A = this chain, B = another copy of it.
């Protein structure tokens, strides 16, 4: 990023995050807003960008975009780089546009896997490259609405699988009998999460459809307090993801967890219950990924 002022923009479905670097490539500012692409009316992405970080942009800036902003519902749809996908492949498949100020804008591609199961991601790939040492084989888990399990090896994303953990948790809590049993405003005892994970580990074969019902039957038998249903169910669902991720056959020695602290701590605890080590990636993982990408592109900058 040396020579030009870079701005990296991680623009997802619900959040907008931007990071500004000086011409020496040092981070100098960060901006976050609840201005995800779903909140942008009539395709007015450039206006929203200017409102959020217009003060940072000059004709000499270089803007790098990743996340759902590059999807069909975003600003500029980019293709997918197919697995195995290197950072070089991402750079090569990015789509260029010019900002009204004259600044350069690069929209990164997503990553697609076709076999054995088709899968896609947009945005997480930069975090994976930020979290991994190029030479090492790593299993990266990115918890969220649509959690990703990613296998990184020799500088490439070799395979990945999505688990709808966050979204299905919300649907179970908000739209089934399980949520209706939970008293409004209840926070739940911390141990209930681990109890849910342990239940899922012990009964993984019967699967989530069966384990979820234990949140009801255990309340009926006074084995679980209604106030603890939310925590217990979080343990069931994250436990189901752990069981599913381990069934992929990647045999990880350790999981590298990338995400926001309260959620990654839950995943670390669930991994421990499943007998697995984990490390939580540093908070600047996204920035590290972008910097590795920018470092690549210097020769033709």
Contact = CB atoms under 8 A, between A and B. Distances in A.
Contact of A207 (B112, B114, B120, B208): B208
Contacts of A167: 176-177
A240 interface: yes
Nearest to A208: B208
A161 B210 CA distance: 7
Interface string A230-252: 00000001001101110110000
A47 interface: no
Contacts of A162: 210, 213, 217
B168 A247 contact: no
Contacts of A117: 203, 210, 214, 217
A176 B169 CA distance: 10
Nearest to A247: B205
Contacts of A237: 209
A235 to B, nearest CB: 14
A164 interface: yes
A82 to B, nearest CB: 11
B118 A223 contact: yes
B218 A168 contact: no
Interface in A253-297: none
A174 interface: yes
A293 to B, nearest CB: 24
Contacts of A147: 209
B209 A164 contact: yes
Contacts of A208: 168, 207-209, 240
Contacts of A220: 118, 120
Given A119-B217, A206-B248, A221-B118, A174 B175 contact: yes
Contact of A172 (B168, B177, B243): B168
Given A171-B175, A172-B168, A163 B118 contact: no
Contacts of A32: none
A165 interface: yes
Interface string A191-231: 00000000000010111111011100110110100000000
B118 A247 contact: no
B161 A206 contact: yes
A117 B215 CA distance: 11
A146 interface: yes
Interface string A114-150: 1011111000000000000000000000000011000
Interface of A: 112, 114, 116-120, 146-147, 161-165, 167-168, 170-172, 174-177, 203, 205-210, 212-214, 217-218, 220-221, 223, 237, 240-241, 243-245, 247-248
